[in-house]
Structure 1
Amino acid sequence: MARVLLAEDHEIVRRGIRSLLESRGNFEICAEAADGLDAVRLAIQEKPDIAIIDYSLPRLNGLEVVKQVRKVLPRIQILMFTQHDSEDLMRDILRAGVRSFLLKSEADEHLIQAVSALAMSRPYFTTRVSETMLATFIGSTTPATQLTSRERETVQLIAEGASNKRIAAELGVSVKTVETHRSTAMRKLGAKSMADLVRYAVRNKLVES
């Protein structure tokens, strides 16, 4: 039986996925997380075979969750579950090691097949996603890929309304380091104000609009 970690901030969606997978009899939901930081903590603690991770998680987005989890659990099979089909997003998550990318609009039809494929260490992509990847996988570097992981985390938390002090506590760094990350991110992105950072975060799906 494959053990599955489910990271999704909407309880009703988690409940639906849990019910769907457990009805098959060969999947066990070993942990559930409602935000990115808990997803990382529970993945390291429970060591699941498969992780289903929503991209738009609070506190730490799905892409950063994948990067942190794979540093500790390089063999984990990950399905990115999202409502966004941005070409840049697909490229970034594949480079991070995600083995399956599933749009929420396609979940009813493809979720069981995707998780079953991952349980056998096989990637799974729908036709719609595969066509987009073929057309866009090799592309120029974008501002999103120029930011470091910590800079993206900082921008996300700023866009979520967190103070420098709270961001420092969340990331385990000093307030001065947070200010440095913010300044560097603003310089790289050509942002002139905090509002510009928020717009960047919304445009690149680090937070929900």
Structure 2
Amino acid sequence: MIRLLLADDEAMMRFGIRAILDADPAFEVVAEAGDGREAVDLAISHRPDVALLDIRMPKLDGLAAAAEMRKVAPETAIVMLTTFGEDDYIAKALEVGASGFLLKSGDPRELIAGIHAVADGAAYLSPKVAQRVITQLAGGQMAKGAAARDRITGLTDREREVLALLGAGMSNAEIARRLFIVEGTVKAYVSAILTRLDVRNRVQAAIVAYEAGLVSGRQDQER
């Protein structure tokens, strides 16, 4: 059972998301919050596996709430719920260790798939969100490219292959199929990559892959 915390200041939005979550027997919503401060308090008391946080909330916004949760409830994975036009917020959320980014207006199946992925220790970005993040990062790619290329010099050729596919948004299962290896081997490669790059999660590793030139915008658009 995956225990969830749902935080959004709009009651109707919480109701709609809750209806989607209740359709999956693997989910249990253990708490709901109407603001960021309440969300942090509930994360401490309920210790959910995954927290779904709206970015814009009163008292404490989603970014600040996520930052606090990483300190007081580090075992709770964080998924940010976003709308278009919030690119700056999404980029900042990367810095506080969020593992998922989903659009409120997206396919309900994306929400379910994203939660399962994050609960399993992976990361999940809505394809549309991923493309917008990459577009935003593109402006500073040249300045950061040299540093990113230095960071990946310690990776083996196979690890670079895995990193490139990870950066393109592929899941472990998809990478395994592409490289004709078992999923457990992919997980081992990803773990080693995160350690060698000194990053918190797959999202941050994907950014390094993009900045180092392992992933092109064209590849992402074709997915």
TM, length-normalised to structure 2: 0.59
Distance in 2 (CA, whole Å) between partners of 1:121 and 1:84 is 26
Distance in 2 (CA, whole Å) between partners of 1:61 and 1:16 is 21
Cα deviation digits, residues 60-95 of structure 1 (max 9, x gap): 100000001111122321110122443321210011
What are the ranges of 5 or more consecutive residues in structure 2 without an aligned counterpart?
A: 141-223
Task: Tell me whether 1:31 sits opposite 2:31 in the alignment.
Answer: yes
Q: CA RMSD in A?
A: 1.7
Residue of structure 1 in register with 2:136 after alignment: 136
Contact 1:78 1:100 in 2 (8 A): yes
Residue of structure 1 in register with 2:96 after alignment: 96
Aligned pairs for 1:162-173 (under 5 A) are: none
Distance in 1 (CA, whole Å) between partners of 2:100 and 2:24 is 20
Q: Please report how far the alpha carbon of residue 49 of structure 1 lies from its aligned counterpart in structure 2 after TM superposition.
A: 0.4
Distance in 2 (CA, whole Å) between partners of 1:98 and 1:85 is 18
Residue of structure 1 in register with 2:3 after alignment: 3
Residue of structure 1 in register with 2:59 after alignment: 59
Secondary structure class of the residue paired with 1:41 = helix
Contact 1:37 1:65 in 2 (8 A): yes
Residue of structure 2 in register with 1:170 after alignment: none
Distance in 2 (CA, whole Å) between partners of 1:98 and 1:127 is 16
Distance in 1 (CA, whole Å) between partners of 2:68 and 2:78 is 12
Cα deviation digits, residues 141-187 of structure 1 (max 9, x gap): xxxxxxxxxxxxxxxxxxxxxxxxxxxxxxxxxxxxxxxxxxxxxxx
Distance in 2 (CA, whole Å) between partners of 1:127 and 1:82 is 13
Secondary structure class of the residue paired with 1:91 = helix
Residue of structure 2 in register with 1:48 after alignment: 48
Secondary structure class of the residue paired with 1:30 = strand
The sequence identity of aligned pairs, in percent, is 38
Cα deviation digits, residues 18-40 of structure 1 (max 9, x gap): 22112210110000000111111
Distance in 2 (CA, whole Å) between partners of 1:16 and 1:49 is 21
Cα deviation digits, residues 92-147 of structure 1 (max 9, x gap): 0011111111111115341111111112111111221112222333767xxxxxxx
Amino acid at match of 1:50: V
Secondary structure class of the residue paired with 1:79 = strand
Residue of structure 1 in register with 2:14 after alignment: 14
Contact 1:85 1:103 in 2 (8 A): no
Aligned pairs, how many? 140
Amino acid at match of 2:128: R
Task: Label 1:8 to 1:119 Cα distance change in 2 as closer, same or farther (>3 A).
Answer: same
Residue of structure 1 in register with 2:82 after alignment: 82
What are the ranges of 5 or more consecutive residues in structure 1 without an aligned counterpart?
A: 141-209
Amino acid at match of 1:80: M
